[in-house]
Amino acid sequence: MAGTITWEYFLKCTDELLRISDIIHDDWVGRGSKNIAGSYYLAKTTKRSCMIVKENHEVADYLEDLELERHETDNESVSTNARDRASEWEYHVLYNISYSVPVLYFNACFSDGSLFSLEQLWQLLSYNFKGALEPQKWSVLTQQEHPVLGRPFFQLHPCRTAKFLEIFEGCSSNLLITWLSSVGPLVGLELPLQYSHHHHHKNYTHTETSKGILQDSVVNHSQIHLL
């Protein structure tokens, strides 16, 4: 079926991503068993310091994508309150057997261990994405049981991923990295450009024809890594 990938291709792509990650020290690791389809996944954990103002128990503002170490060493003016709102983000890339596509699971918690709620996470999304996705936000960002770990995780629903992958079939030698570099920024996961620099690649800019499809498939508006 167009836009879908096999378990074997998924494993090949994860091996390549891990190889590049090791070179550039991007901290991805592989977990689980490769012998059972859907049981092996990529994982990465990052720490960020966030500044949150609550109104009616909801998040009103969020200082995103600033790593905790950067605050502690490079920005002495950051308030104690901001540091107290440190957060940890855990990202997992799995293979969805039903849809035959990759799927991104993630969790985020504050320094006291409390998890972000679904409403809080949505409010933290970049406004570049929020406008295009607002009408379908609850179907795009959902909470599901992690298929390997068996505990609640948030996920970007994979129902439209095949449509996205179909666009890049024949253009990318690693559809997993191409897909992840596009959907990851929606939830604060950025892939360094070195993932494309380690291969012969070409730059891709959305055309007006594909732009609507890509927005509908939950992707960003920035450059996509084609390998």
pLDDT tens-digit readout, 74-98: 444 444 443 446 889 999 999 999 9
Please tell me the distance from the alpha carbon of residue 166 to that of residue 146, in angstroms, as a whole number.
26
Residue with tokens 């609850």: 138
Q: How many other CB atoms sit within 10 Å of the CB of residue 77?
A: 6
Q: Shortest CA distance to 152 belongs to which of 211, 196, 108, 205?
A: 108
Q: Shortest CA distance to 226 belongs to which of 192, 184, 177, 190?
A: 177
> What are phi and psi for residue 65, nearest 5 degrees?
65, 30
Instruction: Pick the catalytic residue from 13, 109, 159, 171.
Output: 159
> What are phi and psi for residue 194, nearest 5 degrees?
-60, -20
Please tell me the distance from the alpha carbon of residue 3 to that of residue 164, in angstroms, as a whole number.
7
Residue with tokens 């380690």: 198
**What pLDDT does 217 receive?**
44
**What pLDDT does 37 receive?**
96
Helix 175-183 / helix 161-168 crossing angle, nearest 10 deg: 120
Residues 6+ away with beta carbon under 8 Å from 179: 102, 161, 164, 165, 168
**What pLDDT does 8 receive?**
98
* CA separation, residue 93 to residues 119, 173, 175 (Å): 22, 18, 13
Known catalytic residue at 171: no
Please tell me the distance from the alpha carbon of residue 132 to that of residue 111, in angstroms, as a whole number.
31
Q: Shortest CA distance to 31 belongs to which of 42, 22, 20?
A: 42
**What pLDDT does 46 receive?**
94
Q: How many other CB atoms sit within 10 Å of the CB of residue 27?
A: 11
Contact (Cβ atoms closer than 8 angstroms) between residue 120 and residue 58: yes
Please tell me the distance from the alpha carbon of residue 67 to that of residue 174, in angstroms, as a whole number.
28
**Predicted model pTM:** 0.76
**What pLDDT does 121 receive?**
77
Residue ranges in the chain whose pLDDT is less than 50: 53, 55-84, 128, 200-224
**What pLDDT does 186 receive?**
83
Tokens of 83: 């540091």
**What pLDDT does 205 receive?**
37
Mean pLDDT of the chain: 76
Please tell me the distance from the alpha carbon of residue 92 to that of residue 182, in angstroms, as a whole number.
15
**What pLDDT does 132 receive?**
58
